Structure 1
């Protein structure tokens, strides 16, 4: 995709190509391309239209029915904020009194679109001409051009002091290098991003879930968000937007939040009848102690984030398994136990174990009609296997 091709997709010829591509695309790219070209669409425009149809289909998981009207690039879709996350963030900003916002590194426009839908006027910029063009196309497609202005510009050139709030999503990928894990290699640079809160107190930073807690600006709230168990982002809420030191937020089919200091330590004790595997947002936000307290649980190893309890408790923040057997890890003993139980299907979860589940599953030579779950972990430092049945 190029800016020129994007512009062509908005002409009557391009609109017709998109409609035709949607009608002929049935999962066979070669047949769809041939059918589209047979209608007189030139190969370059046909390829662009078919790509958009494919990306719109994939984008439905993030954007719902609106995806059918939007425009995408492959990297942009991969990095775009899910609509459910962006909408929650926009609602929180609007509730805090934000009426105007600068969106630095707007990508395809997901957060700008959500903010505008929540009544916030947005100035959105992206340094990449194609990405900025796609964001502007999405603004028009969704009828929000009276609330969002999109420019192709360097984020560092924006007078952020002119806005109530700043939202920054620094680029964490480089062409040919994939993901960038060092904040010093972000674009715009981390020093600029981290300094935004000093210029505009109501600043929100969208960051990778693995971001170091030590990078939190003083007094900021660190929030880790998962959607249906998939950890999708960390967000640093600065200045008056900060409500608690740490927050784990669940969205999707399971919703809720746990808050705390991020410094508490869970009690340590014996393995119980139940083991809980906390949601990754809980683990990344350092709120395992708060989660353990909510289910009356404890750790069996102070370094491993599995929580054990003697009584069951319903929770959205972790998966509960009932433990049937606890044994120090031994391939021979495990193989004998699973053969005795007739286990032919085995889910394997692990923390604190170097074993590879797929290889272990082969080594166990499973056979039989039963299904079970196994947790590979450490208990008081010793490699341990927990045979479980899911609840």
Structure 2
């Protein structure tokens, strides 16, 4: 019987990992600076130079691929990435080290001492738990990924890895559970996302069953999880890091903070800011008039993605004194500038009707050569529109401009703005 594309992709990953875990492979891998595989061209040159040095082709291929993954992993793991082992799917889903540390703090604050990391992937969260002096057992069904996790967790004596189905692991003696369900499938062409929570591995219903047993349970979900799929007995915290929404974490039992149902945590270089609510998200609040809606004033603001995903714009409006410009759109407006990490602020320069021909004339007349386009509530592709509007502009066109494309009721607008630094 022919193997599936997923099986073929997994077989290749296993083969590559076997090569780098050999004495010769490990020595060669750790002699390579991951920066030397930081681009496709650089990786190709590295491959050629290693083969020219007499190393076997299969070994070189494995070392170069792992070096590429280590370089990419620096954005999540910093300098730790240069000594870790990754799979493509494992890296894509792995928790950033800073965020894994915040997860671990939930368990330490709740007094949890023994945690099962069910579906540990390459071991990022187990690493943080072990660093917090929590006894952690990392459970991973995929043999190749479990091998990578074993290597990554070797420096921590309080961590061990078990290669088995997470849903069959015996939780006797454990007071806490962390899960990061697999939300991707892998084949020879790469990885693809899964969106149905019941198609995750393990499924969301399994997570709920653990919480029903009285365990302290935390689970990392994709930030796009539908609100109607969220369990009723947990705290949900959406998290963004430097503007990128990275997860929606569900916290059950003692890991949930009293009185918080939804929260948006915005992490940036200078710290973290959070907004929260005690109640479920109500998508009809603005339509009922419970959320203020008004005209476009001197400033317009774009809430952080975590605030939007969590449905906490109403709380943000209370903090800023702003109002929506349309009950269906996340942009809000204020008369005076508002400084908050929870939203990006723009000064309104002019409001134009959305007509491509007129906008092209405006671009040409203003000598605009660099155009940033943001949009909500309009079926427009910013990249394609940018090419159309800038087409034919000469080299002398160097002015920078920003447009916000949106609608108010049935009227489509192009709002000329300047970012507030």
Q: For residues 374 and 338 of structure 1, do their structure 2 counterparts lie closer, same or farther at Cα, with a shift above 3 Å needed? A: same
**Mapped partners of 2:54, 2:360: distance in 1:** 63
Q: For residues 114 and 23 of structure 1, do their structure 2 counterparts lie closer, same or farther at Cα, with a shift above 3 Å needed? A: closer
Q: Which runs of 5+ in 2 are unaligned?
A: 1-11
Q: Is the Cα contact below 8 Å between 2:34 and 2:70 reproduced in 1?
A: no
Partner of 1:13: 24
**Mapped partners of 2:297, 2:52: distance in 1:** 67
**TM-score, length-scaled by structure 1:** 0.93
- Report SS of the residue matched to 1:160: coil
Q: Which moved more, 1:343-352 or 1:35-44?
A: 35-44
Residues 61-111 of structure 1 deviation map (CA, whole Å, 9 limit, x = unaligned): 110111111001111111111111111111122112111111111000000
Q: Is the Cα contact below 8 Å between 1:229 and 1:279 reproduced in 2?
A: yes
Residue 294 (str. 1) matches residue 348 (str. 2): no
Residue 370 (str. 1) matches residue 387 (str. 2): no
**Mapped partners of 2:390, 2:72: distance in 1:** 37
Residue 159 (str. 1) matches residue 175 (str. 2): no
**TM-score, length-scaled by structure 2:** 0.86
Residue 120 (str. 1) matches residue 134 (str. 2): yes
Q: Is the Cα contact below 8 Å between 1:24 and 1:32 reproduced in 2?
A: no
Residue among 32, 41, 44 paired with 2:58? 44
Q: Which moved more, 1:44-53 or 1:270-279?
A: 44-53
Q: How does 1:55-74 map to 2 (within 5 A)?
A: 55-74=69-88
- Report SS of the residue matched to 1:60: helix
Q: For residues 242 and 20 of structure 1, do their structure 2 counterparts lie closer, same or farther at Cα, with a shift above 3 Å needed? A: closer
Partner of 1:213: 227
Residues 19-72 of structure 1 deviation map (CA, whole Å, 9 limit, x = unaligned): 344499465334423432344432222221222222111111110111111001
How far residue 226 of structure 1 moved from its aligned partner, in angstroms, is: 0.8
Q: Is the Cα contact below 8 Å between 1:300 and 1:380 reproduced in 2?
A: no
Partner of 1:257: 274
Q: Is the Cα contact below 8 Å between 2:30 and 2:83 reproduced in 1?
A: no
- Report SS of the residue matched to 2:59: helix
Partner of 2:6: none
Partner of 2:418: 389
Q: Is the Cα contact below 8 Å between 1:205 and 1:236 reproduced in 2?
A: yes
Partner of 1:80: 94
Q: Is the Cα contact below 8 Å between 1:122 and 1:148 reproduced in 2?
A: yes
Q: Which moved more, 1:254-263 or 1:196-205?
A: 254-263
Q: How does 1:153-232 map to 2 (within 5 A)?
A: 153-176=164-187, 178-232=192-246
Residue among 381, 385, 389 paired with 1:360? 385
Q: Is the Cα contact below 8 Å between 1:217 and 1:238 reproduced in 2?
A: no
Partner of 2:3: none
Count of residues paired in the alignment: 388
Q: Is the Cα contact below 8 Å between 2:34 and 2:82 reproduced in 1?
A: no
How far residue 313 of structure 1 moved from its aligned partner, in angstroms, is: 1.3
Q: Which moved more, 1:227-236 or 1:237-246?
A: 237-246
Q: For residues 339 and 35 of structure 1, do their structure 2 counterparts lie closer, same or farther at Cα, with a shift above 3 Å needed? A: closer
Partner of 2:355: 330
- Report SS of the residue matched to 2:153: helix
Q: Is the Cα contact below 8 Å between 2:363 and 2:390 reproduced in 1?
A: no
Q: How does 1:340-359 map to 2 (within 5 A)?
A: 340-359=365-384
Q: Is the Cα contact below 8 Å between 2:34 and 2:68 reproduced in 1?
A: no
- Report SS of the residue matched to 2:30: helix
**Mapped partners of 1:23, 1:389: distance in 2:** 39
Q: For residues 105 and 365 of structure 1, do their structure 2 counterparts lie closer, same or farther at Cα, with a shift above 3 Å needed? A: same
**Mapped partners of 1:352, 1:293: distance in 2:** 23
Q: Indicate the RMSD between aligned Cα atoms, in angstroms.
A: 2.1
**Mapped partners of 1:175, 1:89: distance in 2:** 27
Residue among 308, 312, 321 paired with 2:346? 321
Q: How does 1:304-319 map to 2 (within 5 A)?
A: 304-319=329-344
Q: Is the Cα contact below 8 Å between 2:118 and 2:178 reproduced in 1?
A: yes
How far residue 2 of structure 1 moved from its aligned partner, in angstroms, is: 4.8
Q: For residues 306 and 31 of structure 1, do their structure 2 counterparts lie closer, same or farther at Cα, with a shift above 3 Å needed? A: closer
Q: For residues 305 and 159 of structure 1, do their structure 2 counterparts lie closer, same or farther at Cα, with a shift above 3 Å needed? A: same
- 4+ runs deviating over 6 angstroms: none
Q: For residues 370 and 2 of structure 1, do their structure 2 counterparts lie closer, same or farther at Cα, with a shift above 3 Å needed? A: closer
Q: Which runs of 5+ in 1 are unaligned?
A: none
